[in-house]
A and B are shown apart, each in its own frame.
Chain A
Amino acid sequence: MEVRVMVTGVYGLIAGAVYRYLDGQPERFTAFGCARREAPSVRAPTDASFILPEDRYFRADLADYDSVRKAVDGMDVVVQMAAEPDEGAPFEKILNSNLIGAYHVFEACRDAGVKRVVYASSVMASWGCLQDEPYKAIYECRFGDVPSDYHRVTHLDPPRPTEPYSASKVWGEALARTYSDVHGMSCLCVRIGWVNAEDSPYKPELLSTWCSLRDISHLVEQCVAAPDDLRFDIFYGVSDNDYRWVDTDHAKKVVGFAPVDGGKVKLNDPNKGTQGQAQ
């Protein structure tokens, strides 16, 4: 029987890609989407044809608990992607969409008996690591200063948020842990890397955390379809990039994440620590 999946914030860049990816496998999934307005986000590629059929779409504003509760009713899995995506957004927006909104989604899913929530967290939950070497060198494209072997940051390392946005993702992960341990829901968090509408690792400082749209869609799918006994986990969702500084082995091992894309760094002269560039 097909798994009924609700993708929240469905007109966002990543959520839209995830919806189409799942909707393209109708024998496995029946995909639904909800959003607070029926229009693609400014980040999403302009594609007028991407309008959900009426029977797959719910209007829901995360600030309005009742609308969220209706949208998740009867779902097997909810992919929680509706959020303020701008890390520089003022606290008011973070509060309504990411703090209150995340609570409404977990609580509505509990009340509705939804078995699993896939929570869209962010690699920015670890962004503070970039203040420390060798991650700082990677971010500053001083690739010659990066040792050949270094610790890749894992889901077990303490979070390192850098603004209310990434702190709100730490909050969402805490809710995921709570609803998993106490209410018996399966809650899987994906710390999504840098995804962009161009679907390209074009900024050298962000290349190491890039994630292609198909890689992130694939990881979310692997989470949606994961075995029932997977109750809680946190995965980094980044492509197989050069100088990747977050761990993806855990996602590979637990849910079979197999990224097919990866940003490559072209080094001018690694021995002299000269600047690399994205290809």
Chain B
Amino acid sequence: MTNVMITGVYGLIAGSTYNHLVREPDRYAVCGLARRRQPSDRVPADEVISVPDDRFVLSDLSDLKQVTEAVSGMDVVVHMAADPSGQGGWESVLQSNVIGAYNLFEGCRLAGVERVVFASSIQVSAGYRREEAYERFRSGAADDVHVVTHLDPVRPLNLYASSKIWGEALARVYADVHKMSCLCIRIGWVVGDDKLPQPGAGDIWCSRRDIVQLIQRCVDAPDDVRFDVFYGMSNNERCWVDVKHARDVVGYEPVDGG
């Protein structure tokens, strides 16, 4: 039995993950944390979750002591609470993604949590996507391009993406120095109705069931997976980021594709 805490549990991806894991009560005891007890606007009506009171913590991650108490007793924390786009501006990114991520990792260290699965974003690599070579590849004008991997330099284009790089840097710190297992997922474009968000975005799409599968594989990964970064994409055509690494390390097998 694995005790799993999902932060930001009323978000789109976090809620799908919650619903998936609670269906296996013999394997997971799932708790949720959020700063309000209501679903995000992005969540479709049929995916609204119901977290029992004794499995729910109300917190905005601004207070380290509160976070530490919330995660104590957990084996794995799936950290999805964040400003999901950066559209809330600098203050929102600062509070939720910069300070919130630090409090989360530090709270997990203090509480002895063994693993953090950190929700990063494809946006940390977004700069590649608009380069000419990648535009040509995506449009079909070229068939070859260097597939960007987790080992390539990051290419953020906004504060939100930079805040995810901060979170990945913390993941590295807590894995290397504090010996926690920290796995980062650079999540692609996930939408509530699971349809392609717009024409031409199929390259970075990820269906909800694929991202939930990858999160679950990270929760279940062998203890000796200490740090890694995976791209969370469906099996898309014209995909310019690497998903083979996630297959090799945690057995990710996407079933959808854009």
Contacts and interface: CB of A to CB of B under 8 A. Distances in A.
Interface of A: 91, 95, 99-100, 103, 107, 128, 131, 155-164, 166-168, 170-171, 174-175, 177-178, 181-182
Given A167-B166, A178-B157, A158 B151 contact: yes
B106 A174 contact: no
A167 B102 CA distance: 10
Contacts of A167: 166, 169-170, 172-173
A258 B156 CA distance: 31
Interface of B: 90, 94, 98-99, 102, 106, 127, 150-159, 161-163, 165-166, 169-170, 172-173, 176-177
Contacts of B176: 128, 131, 160, 162
What is the interface of chain A mostly: helix, strand, loop, or mixed? Answer: helix
Contacts of B161: 174, 178
B166 A178 contact: no
Q: Which of B106, B154, B159, B166 has the most CB of A within 10 A?
A: B166
B155 A177 contact: yes
Contacts, number: 82
B186 to A, nearest CB: 13
Contact of B173 (A107, A155, A161): A161
Nearest to A100: B94
15 contacts: A99-B94, A103-B90, A131-B176, A158-B151, A160-B176, A162-B173, A167-B166, A167-B169, A167-B172, A171-B98, A174-B161, A174-B166, A177-B162, A181-B127, A181-B155
A177 B158 CA distance: 9
Nearest to A103: B90
A131 B175 CA distance: 12
A164 B101 CA distance: 11
Nearest 3 CB-CB pairings of A with B: A167-B169, A174-B162, A170-B169
A159 to B, nearest CB: 6
Contact of B156 (A103, A160, A177): A177
A164 B102 contact: yes
Contacts of B158: 178, 182
A161 B155 contact: no
Contacts of B157: 178, 181-182
Contact of A174 (B90, B154, B170, B173): B154
B114 to A, nearest CB: 19
A177 B172 contact: no
B159 A163 contact: no
A103 B162 CA distance: 10
A178 B94 contact: no
